Amino acid sequence: MGAGIIGIGRYLPEKVLTNFDLEKMMDTSDEWIRTRTGIEERRIAPDNIDTSDMAYFSAKKALEDAGISATDIDLILVATVTPDRPFPSVACMLQERLGATKAAALDISAACAGFIYGMVTAKQFIDNGAYRYILVVGVEKLSKIVNWNDRNTAVLFGDGAGAVVMGPVSEGRGILSFELGADGTGGKHLYQDEYVIMNGREVFKFAVRQMGESCINVLEKAGLSKQDVDFLIPHQANIRIVEAARQRLELPEEKMSTTVRKYGNTSAASIPISIVEELEAGKIKDDDLIIMVGFGGGLTWGAIALRWGR
């Protein structure tokens, strides 16, 4: 048996904030944002919807998709850097709201790589038989930590959530290999003080290098090559960064997710949000080899090679 995704769901706030809306709020332009980042619009959650609410909406859908009930869940992992409050964790709030009475619960702080960290952690418990069903959620309400007076960062981020139920899947499917990494010396390039502070150029250089390398590393670990890849789901930070990863894998454009255009950078939520988008578009099918790769503040990074299907 392998450890894989057996159910998935997402939540995106209804409110769309376009580049043209931002032009009215700060000294920026649709042209600059689109050419430098690929982003056209992003979603912004209203005041009465916090991170745990978005986590709940996405988790409900993932449970329904998996065909299990909340009381079947053994562990809840929530990847987020924008919890409702420092504690209790979003995972504990979610546990209560779902009624997941037997589940242990904790948040994971690995910024935009958090969802990959969560999936890899879940895999260990499923592989060693300790737990059967693990809910992994990537969720962010970045709009509450973005400085809306700083055009360098405000145009990049959006809100949203994605959740997966992980559990045992057939032999040959699920996570085939993974890589996780961290480099605390780069923490100074992307962090939260009161608001998000970022050295865009340094993060850009790191991201381009690390995404490409991690993709190649997980393929090697799985005994596979670039030609075997069916679809690439990179963390959606910037179109130029994900393009560099696609070129490193020599993949055609239609084999990579570019949801950054519609949703901006949703940090830990971007990978599960993108998986749902591509499933709905019919671009991911059973037995496809999917590469997921993320990077973020910490600095952190991670990648997974996964054979899709239950």
Ligand X SMILES: CC(C)(COP(=O)(O)OP(=O)(O)OC[C@H]1O[C@@H](n2cnc3c(N)ncnc32)[C@H](O)[C@@H]1OP(=O)(O)O)[C@@H](O)C(=O)NCCC(=O)NCCS
- Torsion angle of C-alpha atoms 118, 226, 276, 282, degrees rounded to 10: -160
Catalytic residue among 19, 215, 238, 265: 265
Judged by CB, which is closer to ligand X: 78, or 242? Answer: 242
Q: Which of 116, 203, 222, 242 binds ligand X (CB under 6 A)?
A: 203
CA 296 to chain centre: 10
If one asks whether residue 175 binds ligand X (CB under 6 A), the answer comes out as no
Rounded alpha-carbon distances, angstroms, from residue 216 to 132, 175, 183, 227, 295: 30, 15, 19, 11, 15
Report, in Å, the least distance between residue 154 CB and ligand X. Answer: 7
Question: How far apart are the C-alpha atoms of 150 and 24, rounded to whole Å?
Answer: 14
Report, in Å, the least distance between residue 89 CB and ligand X. Answer: 22
Catalytic residue among 92, 189, 215, 235: 235
Largest distance between two CA atoms of the chain:
54
Question: ω into residue 22 within 30 of 0, thus cis?
Answer: no
Tokens encoding 13: 């706030």
Report, in Å, the least distance between residue 63 CB and ligand X. Answer: 28
Q: What is the contact mask toward ligand X in residues 135 to 154, using x (rule: CB under 6 A)?
A: ----------------xx--
If one asks whether residue 112 binds ligand X (CB under 6 A), the answer comes out as yes
Q: Which of 23, 132, 192, 204 binds ligand X (CB under 6 A)?
A: 204
If one asks whether residue 24 binds ligand X (CB under 6 A), the answer comes out as no
Q: What is the contact mask toward ligand X in residues 233 to 272, using x (rule: CB under 6 A)?
A: ----xx--x-----------------------x-------
Judged by CB, which is closer to ligand X: 198, or 293? Answer: 198
Tokens encoding 227: 């030609």
Judged by CB, which is closer to ligand X: 155, or 251? Answer: 155
Beta bridge partners of residue 285, listed in sequence order: none
Report, in Å, the least distance between residue 201 CB and ligand X. Answer: 5
CB within 8 Å of 158: residues ≥ 6 apart: 17, 42, 43, 44, 142, 143, 263, 264, 265, 266
Tokens encoding 136: 């992994």
Question: How far apart are the C-alpha atoms of 57 and 50, rounded to whole Å?
Answer: 11
Report, in Å, the least distance between residue 183 CB and ligand X. Answer: 14
Site size toward ligand X, by CB under 6 A: 21
Question: How far apart are the C-alpha atoms of 22 and 31, rounded to whole Å?
Answer: 12
As a 3-state breakdown, the chain gives helix, strand, coil percent values, each rounded to 5, of 40, 25, 30
Catalytic residue among 112, 189, 215, 238: 112
Q: Which of 9, 13, 37, 242 binds ligand X (CB under 6 A)?
A: 37
Report CA torsion sign: 310, 305, 42, 184: positive
Judged by CB, which is closer to ligand X: 30, or 127? Answer: 30
Q: Say which amino acid occupies 112.
A: C
* Catalytic-residue membership of 235: yes
Taken as a whole, the chain contains a residue count of: 310
Residue, CB closest to ligand X: 200
Binding site for ligand X (CB under 6 A): 28, 32-33, 36-37, 112, 151-152, 155, 190, 198, 200-201, 203-204, 207, 237-238, 241, 265, 296
Annotated catalytic residues are: 112, 235, 265
